[in-house]
Amino acid sequence: MAGLEGIEQPRGHSRAAAARWSPAVEDERALKAIELFGNPTDAEVPLPSRPESAATARRLAQVVVLRQWRLSPRMTEDAVLLVSELVGNAVRHTGARVFGLRMRRRPGWIRVEVRDPSRGLPCLMPVQETDISGRGLFLVDKLADRWGVDLLPRGKTTWFEMRVADR
């Protein structure tokens, strides 16, 4: 991942330059993803465990956070980045054929869950400037207000929560 400028800034102000995207450019693709795969606020959306599913999950998160929940572009950008990291971990490390994406909102909070059939726990590793991978949970830990893992009888759900200002 290119440029982790400002990774030592206070919690909530870290930015990953590579994660920048334009809501206007992606809007049509995001709406198409909802149409094809379903809305992760209605029910868990099953996605194939392939690298290209990260793009689909990002688009689903974008349309939900920006258009459906009407949160800020910055909140959307952060949520999309963290969805991408959790999905990347599910694809790379679980050996699953399918994983599930679910998004929920309650007063003052959003919650994103990625469920997979592996009971292997993710591990927050120390990050060095020269590392070229292994920063996913580091980013989740820096940008989310809370995150964790719930073990299930068959698998686990890795989740993060972010505070939102309700109007």
At 65-79, the pLDDT tens digits run: 999 999 999 999 999
Three-state DSSP class for residue 126: coil
Find the range with the poorest average confidence among 58-67, 91-100, 150-159: 91-100
Count the neighbouring beta carbons within 10 Å of the beta carbon of residue 116: 26
Q: What is the pLDDT of residue 69?
A: 96
Q: How confident is the model at residue 24 (pLDDT cuts 50, 70, 90)?
A: low
Looking at every residue in the chain, the average pLDDT score rounds to 82
Q: How confident is the model at residue 12 (pLDDT cuts 50, 70, 90)?
A: very low
Q: What is the pLDDT of residue 17?
A: 41
Q: What is the pLDDT of residue 95?
A: 81
pLDDT tens digits for range 83-133: 999 999 899 888 889 999 999 999 999 999 999 999 988 877 776 666 555
Q: What is the DSSP string of 65-91?
A: IIIIS---HHHHHHHHHHHHHHHHHHH
Q: What is the pLDDT of residue 10?
A: 37
**Contact yes or no for 79/110 (Cβ under 8 A):** yes
Report whether pLDDT(51) > 70. Answer: yes
Among 11-20, 33-42, 155-164, top mean pLDDT goes to: 155-164
Q: What is the pLDDT of residue 166?
A: 66
Three-state DSSP class for residue 53: helix
Q: How confident is the model at residue 26 (pLDDT cuts 50, 70, 90)?
A: low
DSSP state of 157: E
Find the range with the poorest average confidence among 8-12, 85-89, 106-110, 150-154: 8-12
